Structure 1
């Protein structure tokens, strides 16, 4: 749509948080615009439809805490079917590379680790989660590896306060047509200016002036929903400067979690539907693999942390090649001819994200509340990094946007009829 010259509320970013804010304001009668740097809705929620009907959620893919997740009701209203089967990581479908007795031992240690982290967080002070690993423990590498999937970073960069604050009901479902597709459908009615990158928010005057790649507009209120890295590195700038916000985002950097989708050129009967396979249980730098997700003829690989960044930096084909090598090492050489790269994410190299989702560095868990606090009742902040308990999730982003939208609305005088 054309860029308006003046609005009541400008929302920066049309991901789940921005859409949540816009939907919270849609019945207000206010002039609202979403300013989105990309040419699509969803931000870090993005679905690609691949060959043979394969659905690939390049970003968020799971309805975490589905029994509390508002996107479940949204999916029902919009006619999106939900797969309520247990997630692949919660069950062991066969013993290749990870026998049942080893898995049980790992799960016991994982529960013990998180119990230690919870106790340490209650007793204080904050410290890196890696401090809770037991020296010489057989499962330390795997605990660190799983952290790269959960947090996007290894345990040495994760606050134990943040771990304790995160809420997980352990109910995890999938949107059959894709989580990203659901988010985009929910935002379809919102007024959006695409390909509009915001560089400066000047809040010195009576009207807030917003400089974008398509021109300048003014607003009464602004809701900022961009990823933390873009504020931290001042890709998005404020005038007057907001040093507290910059400091908070630097304490809440984006970790990295990447995916690769491989076609499985086989009838697939030898592999279980929604099966699970781990590249290694003794290395931090390894992948985990979702076999035949939703029954599709494919394998979805997942990498996190420093290893994911190394694979991104190595070039487009490195992630798929590594995934195929690890799968072949476990399933046999016949699979080298059965697997083909289809698609992958490279979130660290995405200039509008530069990462996947936030984690609080040790000593910085309070930065989530600092980032979420409005400035002068004119600037409001949302995004998964501002969620107190559902950070790193799409529904956490949505709820934060709704919260920011309501905050902005509460500061606008009621207009006379």
Structure 2
């Protein structure tokens, strides 16, 4: 049995774990990264066709406008991104015996992809990590809190009973693994808090019950026929429910031509038709795009067959619109020694790669080494005081902005989620004004870089705004209870907890964007 002592153990080498490990290494912190699979990347999975074309069997897209972590990381790593092809007709099939319908519209809303596939992101991140920090084929089976440290037990090698074991003693542990998988595979001693267990049980694993198909071709014939490659099939015999252009670049003759699709069949149906799936996929593609669509190289991947992606609970309880970022999963446990990661724990972008990076940023801050703060210069102290004075008088104007926005929505006959939209508009308006104030103040940010991309001035400068959103929401709810106009809308007058949770999620996303933008301003001043 192998025994190891380390300051920080990160379990799970998907995007969250890799991004976190990169930061830990850059800081010089002592850590090890463990992964149950024999490869890095988790649900990011790429394959190459016989022609050498790279394609994604896991996540494919990111949205730069809505996902700043992904956009920033890809730019920082110098990876080549290109827009998802969306121009041309979109096909819709509602009846296998009827002619397909067509329309012209964009489907993917500004999505982009990476040249060489998302595996390029995994390769770029892992390139920063020395091999001695990585441990593949290490399946976590037990976590024990022994007081001064946590003891982790890993089954190594082929994963069979009796395989070699590794025992790791770590002062702090990050489990960057989907919560349901941890419940299924790991024994915790002492038992986890019941509220945490319930949160883990209620958090579906993204992609767990999905299957994806890709067909590569010598040319993108559908584009020549005026099709975008997008198609939606909504009948009971559908094999692929959503199809898209999966070409490996803006020019298919260079990057390679392909169509991709997500399986419409549930896991049980896929297992029943397993041997016939290739034929069924080819048949449906040819029905939509003509005979040439049947004559490609097919790649199929069913995530339900992956024990390190799909938990039994995911199969029993598939979720169409899962909710992520439960507060119990963003806290530390076992006396601050145990932390949870993975995209499912993110308050922003949960389930997406953006969520994995959002979770990694939270963990980077939680694991930051203690650092003696430098005394503020007289100039910076003066600027912080001026900003705090400005922030202190904004609460009244923010509530007035909410009331104005609410009145405008009522006047325009809007009736749905009035409080949610009006609060967010007011908050964003205030944050935008705050950013303009920061840009105008003459901070001296030289020498303030705490780590790559982060200024140590950011926390003290933005502190006056920290509880701004919470206070505004309290004032809004008080106003709503006394408003005659709102009394006609029971859901707004006395909102339920689920509605308030949605509002708080929006507010967190706005706060997060504000913090990143404020930090960018201070970094530019450096």
User: TM-score, normalized by length of structure 1?
Assistant: 0.71
Higher relative contact order (CA 8 A, sep 6+): 1
The answer as to whether partners of 1:225 and 1:381 remain within 8 angstroms in 2 is yes
CA 1:374–1:179 in 2, change beyond 3 Å: closer, same or farther? same
Asked if residue 212 in structure 1 is aligned to residue 154 in structure 2, the reply is yes
The answer as to whether partners of 1:81 and 1:175 remain within 8 angstroms in 2 is yes
The answer as to whether partners of 2:91 and 2:231 remain within 8 angstroms in 1 is no
Displacement of 1:186? 1.0
Aligned to 2:478: none
User: TM-score, normalized by length of structure 2?
Assistant: 0.57
CA 1:284–1:383 in 2, change beyond 3 Å: closer, same or farther? farther
Asked if residue 280 in structure 1 is aligned to residue 233 in structure 2, the reply is yes
The answer as to whether partners of 2:348 and 2:354 remain within 8 angstroms in 1 is no
Aligned to 1:200: 142
Aligned to 1:299: 259
C-alpha distance in structure 2 between counterparts of 1:182 and 1:366, whole Å: 24
The answer as to whether partners of 1:8 and 1:220 remain within 8 angstroms in 2 is yes
- Match of 1:26, SS state, is helix
The answer as to whether partners of 1:201 and 1:211 remain within 8 angstroms in 2 is yes
CA 1:4–1:170 in 2, change beyond 3 Å: closer, same or farther? farther
Matches within 5 A, 1:8-407: 8-66=7-65, 68-84=67-83, 86-88=84-86, 91-93=87-89, 97=93, 98-100=100-102, 170-190=109-129, 191-214=133-156, 215-233=166-184, 235-242=185-192, 243-254=194-205, 255-264=208-217, 268=221, 271=224, 275-278=228-231, 280-283=233-236, 285-287=238-240, 288-291=242-245, 293=247, 294=249, 295=252, 296-303=256-263, 307-310=265-268, 312-314=270-272, 317-333=275-291, 335-336=293-294, 338-341=295-298, 343-354=299-310, 365=323, 368-375=326-333, 376-407=335-366
Aligned to 1:124: none
In our comparison, the structure showing a higher alpha carbon Rg is 2
CA 1:20–1:57 in 2, change beyond 3 Å: closer, same or farther? same
- Match of 1:310, SS state, is helix
- Match of 2:359, SS state, is helix
Displacement of 1:245? 2.8
CA 1:267–1:27 in 2, change beyond 3 Å: closer, same or farther? closer
Q: Deviations over 1:363-416 (max 9, x none)?
A: 984762222211121101111111112011112102202211321236x687xx
Bigger mean CA deviation after superposition, 345-354 or 258-267? 258-267
Aligned to 1:152: none
- Match of 1:5, SS state, is strand
C-alpha RMSD over aligned residues: 3.4
The answer as to whether partners of 1:311 and 1:318 remain within 8 angstroms in 2 is no
C-alpha distance in structure 2 between counterparts of 1:270 and 1:382, whole Å: 41
For structure 1, the 5+ residue unaligned runs are: 108-145, 147-168
Aligned residues: 339
C-alpha distance in structure 2 between counterparts of 1:177 and 1:273, whole Å: 25
